[in-house]
Amino acid sequence: MYTLLSGLYKYVFQKDEYCILILGLDNAGKTTFLEQSKTRFNKHYKGMSLSKITTTVGLNIGTVDVGKARLMFWDLGGQEELQSLWDKYYAECHGVIYVIDSTDEERLSESKQAFEKMVTSEALEGVPILVLANKQDVETCLSIPDIKTAFSDCTSKIGRRDCLTQACSALTGKGVNEGIEWMVKCVVRNVHRPPRQRDIT
């Protein structure tokens, strides 16, 4: 009887919580993506003006609920001196969203180096990765094939984990819903990193 009640309690009052890291160079649009996600998935979230978002120094945290899953986002600063802190969060995370500025061709190789270092970390083995080619609303942006070509020698290092490269505009919201829904499917089916149980508040 206790087991039945315990199961019912979990079903009604608890959500499976998954921690998702949002990584990428500074000015890639990570915090804008986080704000857009919170606005789209949280009915009562008013949100901050996207034009007032500044460079993240440290960490922004946000939560969205998608069905029975709760995603806890950790948006980490992307400046070079802050990238050394990324790996402190790897062991606890269930998924990674890596944001690329599609308009910044000059820093694409720098972004690739940061991605390569991240993807080869043993602490992230088997963790799904969503690569967002952000700022696709700008006419002069690099296309998805351009970015895939630039990152092509990272392909073998991704291994057998779930990985998707997707066009996105964090500013307009294009591709945000699809990206998050893809990530939810991946973390829910990833048996290697079970969720944390959180009471619904």
pLDDT tens for 42-79 read 877 666 665 555 665 568 899 999 988 999 999 998 88
Domains in the chain with CATH codes: 18-52+92-192 (3.40.50.300)
Q: Among residues 187, 185, 181, 177, which one has the least CA distance to residue 17?
A: 187
Using the predicted structure, report yes or no on whether residue 179 has a pLDDT greater than 80: yes
The pLDDT of residue 14 is: 77
The pLDDT of residue 58 is: 63
> Is residue 73 within a helix (H) or strand (E), and if so which, with residue range?
strand 69-76
The pLDDT of residue 102 is: 97
User: How far does Cα 41 stand from its chain's mean position?
Assistant: 15
The pLDDT of residue 48 is: 62
Helices 176-189, 30-41: crossing angle, 10 deg rounding: 80
Mean pLDDT of the chain: 88
Q: Binding site residues, as ranges?
A: 24-31, 56, 78, 134-137
User: Which residue numbers are catalytic?
Assistant: 79
The pLDDT of residue 41 is: 85
Whole-prediction pTM: 0.88
Bridge partners of residue 95, in order along the sequence: 20
Would you call 26 helix, strand, or coil by DSSP?
coil
Q: Binding site residues for Mg(2+), as ranges?
A: 31, 56
pLDDT tens for 109-140 read 999 999 999 999 999 999 999 999 999 999 99
pLDDT tens for 69-109 read 999 999 998 888 889 889 999 999 999 999 999 999 999 99
- For residues 171 and 198, which has the higher predicted lDDT (pLDDT)? 171
Structural contact between residues 68 and 101, judged by C-beta atoms closer than 8 angstroms: no
Q: Binding site residues for GTP, as ranges?
A: 24-31, 78, 134-137
The pLDDT of residue 84 is: 87
Structural contact between residues 105 and 142, judged by C-beta atoms closer than 8 angstroms: yes
